[in-house]
Amino acid sequence: MNDDLLIQSLLDGTLTTAEHAAVNQRLRNDADLRQHLRDSAEQAVAMGDMARQRETDTPVCSPPTPTRFMADRSVRLTLAASIAVLATSALLWFDSHESPVLTLVDSSGTVVWNHGGEMRVNVRDGEKLAAGTLETLGETASAQLQFADGTIISLTGESELAFSEEGQKLLVLRKGSLSAQVKPQPRGHPMIVRTPSAEAEIVGTTFNLSARPDDTLLKVNEGLVKLKRLADGTSIDVPAQSSAVASLNSSLKLDPAVTPEPLTRWRFDFNTAVPPQIWRGIWHDTSEGGRMVASPYVAQKSKDGEVVTHFGVSIRTGYLNPPLALAVAEQSVIRYRLKQDAPAPLQLMLITNKPTGGFGGNFECKIGSAELRPDADGWCELQIPISRFKPVDRRPHVRARHPTPVGNIVASFLLSSFKRDTGLTVAHFELSTQP
């Protein structure tokens, strides 16, 4: 395979594992090949920009059908944005020094670090990491990362982040969610965070960012963030206490909106409402109404690659449109209407963030089989006060930092069975408060 085909296959993601490792080794030792990769990546970004510009400038004449045109247009914009993200990721990987960029301060669950084609599972807290890609595996995983200037990045859930610092901080959030507390950055060198659909420019602020399948959700807590939609290059400034959604569909409005106050009472009825696709679980429309059936997810991964699988249903209000924030109070109660094929213990986990941004801790409540008292049709009414939730992490310093979920914003309510599929089905969820 010549170098042109080699680089094209690398950017396309079609190399085998062995070929990828061989390319990484060559890139470390061959300056000419690294330059070739930079040139190809920059061309890919330019092509993506040109494709987006054509969508803005070129009139469309007699499309076969409006639906067909919109579908083709969406595919082109998605491809252009994906190429740009992939190209940027490649530059982060191979145009960086070996010196540490950030430190893994704290983590839970499985954290994987990829650097130069080498993958390490279960990176330890306190380790200093050179430029590469960090993944948190499973909905309950988290990682808190710190740059040398004190800037803190927190990843939660199933997230993947490429990072580098060559004169300025460059991050590519390929999927998942992050929150950041960014120290003032050098003039002319803001921190850049790119997703498949948007680019955020930060000079110093506190914010949350989620890369969703078709758009990017930005919530700014303090300061100001410049948000660019990659589909057409439109940019806006998002001020404190505001949010904005940058979609791959450039026909949608891109404007900041005031972030609503967190709710302490809210309900979701699967009988009558279809949840976002990104929620854990599989929604079914039955003759009796909608149902959310548990789907498998990776709860843990060992160093030898063995995975522990649970089956769960999640409630993630940040992925609603418009997004909502749910806060727990001392009087909070969580209610479910559920059923299983046979009585079995369950676990309810709360993945939380602090009200001002940043990781707030993971908490769990174990539910014994005896608590689940099905009626004649097999349905159970489950009611759990917030006082029953305990920190998942057993380490004393982590428990001292995150002793309770009270006062936090819940990123995900995750109800699961342990290691086996019990046919867990949910019809209703509610967060309320005791009288």
Helices (H), 195-346: none
Tokens 């399948």 belong to residue: 213
Instruction: Report the alpha-carbon distance of residue 324 to residue 383 in Å, rounded.
Output: 22
Note the pLDDT of residue 119: 82
Q: Measured in whole angstroms, how far is the alpha carbon of residue 161 from the centre of its chain? A: 9
Of the candidates 138, 16, 106, 167, the one whose C-alpha atom is nearest the C-alpha of residue 395 is 106
**Domain match, 344 and 229 both:** no
Instruction: Report the alpha-carbon distance of residue 257 to residue 238 in Å, rounded.
Output: 8
**Domain match, 35 and 136 both:** no
**Domain match, 216 and 340 both:** no
Using DSSP, state whether 240 is helix, strand or coil: coil
Instruction: Report the alpha-carbon distance of residue 93 to residue 257 in Å, rounded.
Output: 35
Q: What is the DSSP letter of 96?
A: S
Residue 193, classified by CB atoms within 10 Å of its CB into exposed (0-12), middle (13-18) or buried (19+), is buried
Residue type, 78: T
**Among candidate residues 258, 288, 316, the one where a domain is terminated:** 258
Note the pLDDT of residue 296: 92
- What DSSP assignment string belongs to 263-304? BS-EEEETTT-PPPTTSSSEEEEETTEEEEE-EEEEEEE-TT
| Residue 254 near residue 236 (C-beta atoms within 8 A) | yes
Which two structure tokens, joined as six digits, stand for 287?
A: 């003759």
Residue 108, domain CATH: 2.60.120.1440
Which two structure tokens, joined as six digits, stand for 189?
A: 């060198």
Q: Give the residues across from 154 on adjacent strands.
A: 144, 179
**Among candidate residues 67, 94, 121, the one where a domain is terminated:** 94
**Domain match, 41 and 115 both:** no
**Domain match, 58 and 81 both:** yes
**Domain match, 56 and 137 both:** no
Q: Please give the chain's pLDDT, 435 residues, in tens.
A: 667 667 666 655 566 656 666 766 676 566 667 666 655 554 554 444 444 444 444 443 333 333 333 444 444 554 555 555 555 555 554 444 578 899 999 888 888 998 877 788 878 889 999 999 999 987 788 899 999 999 999 998 889 999 999 889 999 999 999 999 999 999 999 999 999 999 999 999 999 999 988 899 999 989 999 999 999 999 999 999 999 999 999 999 999 999 889 999 999 999 999 999 889 999 999 998 999 999 998 877 766 667 788 999 999 998 887 788 999 999 999 999 999 998 899 999 999 988 877 788 999 999 999 999 999 999 999 999 999 999 998 888 888 989 999 999 999 999 999 889 999 999 999 999 987
**Domain match, 60 and 173 both:** no
Instruction: Report the alpha-carbon distance of residue 317 to residue 190 in Å, rounded.
Output: 30
| Structural domain total, the chain | 3
The backbone torsions φ and ψ at residue 75, rounded to the nearest 5 degrees and listed phi first, read -60, -45
**Among candidate residues 94, 111, 138, the one where a domain is terminated:** 94
pTM here is 0.73
**Domain match, 119 and 240 both:** yes
Note the pLDDT of residue 381: 96
Q: Measured in whole angstroms, how far is the alpha carbon of residue 82 from the centre of its chain? A: 16
Domain coverage including residue 296? 266-433
Note the pLDDT of residue 67: 37
Q: Give the residues across from 297 on adjacent strands.
A: 310
Instruction: Report the alpha-carbon distance of residue 82 to residue 76 in Å, rounded.
Output: 10
Using DSSP, state whether 420 is helix, strand or coil: coil
Residue 401, domain CATH: 2.60.120
**Domain match, 89 and 105 both:** no
CA dihedral 208, 138, 282, 368 (to 10 degrees): -110
Instruction: Report the alpha-carbon distance of residue 217 to residue 256 in Å, rounded.
Output: 11
Give the other-Cβ count within 10 Å of 197's Cβ: 25
Instruction: Report the alpha-carbon distance of residue 425 to residue 337 in Å, rounded.
Output: 9
Residue 114, classified by CB atoms within 10 Å of its CB into exposed (0-12), middle (13-18) or buried (19+), is middle
**Domain match, 88 and 12 both:** yes
Note the pLDDT of residue 167: 86
**Domain match, 105 and 164 both:** yes
Instruction: Report the alpha-carbon distance of residue 286 to residue 92 in Å, rounded.
Output: 48
**Domain match, 276 and 253 both:** no
- Please state whether 70 falls in left (phi above 0), alpha (psi between -120 and 50) or beta: alpha
Instruction: Report the alpha-carbon distance of residue 273 to residue 275 in Å, rounded.
Output: 6
Note the pLDDT of residue 299: 79
Which two structure tokens, joined as six digits, stand for 41?
A: 């990546």
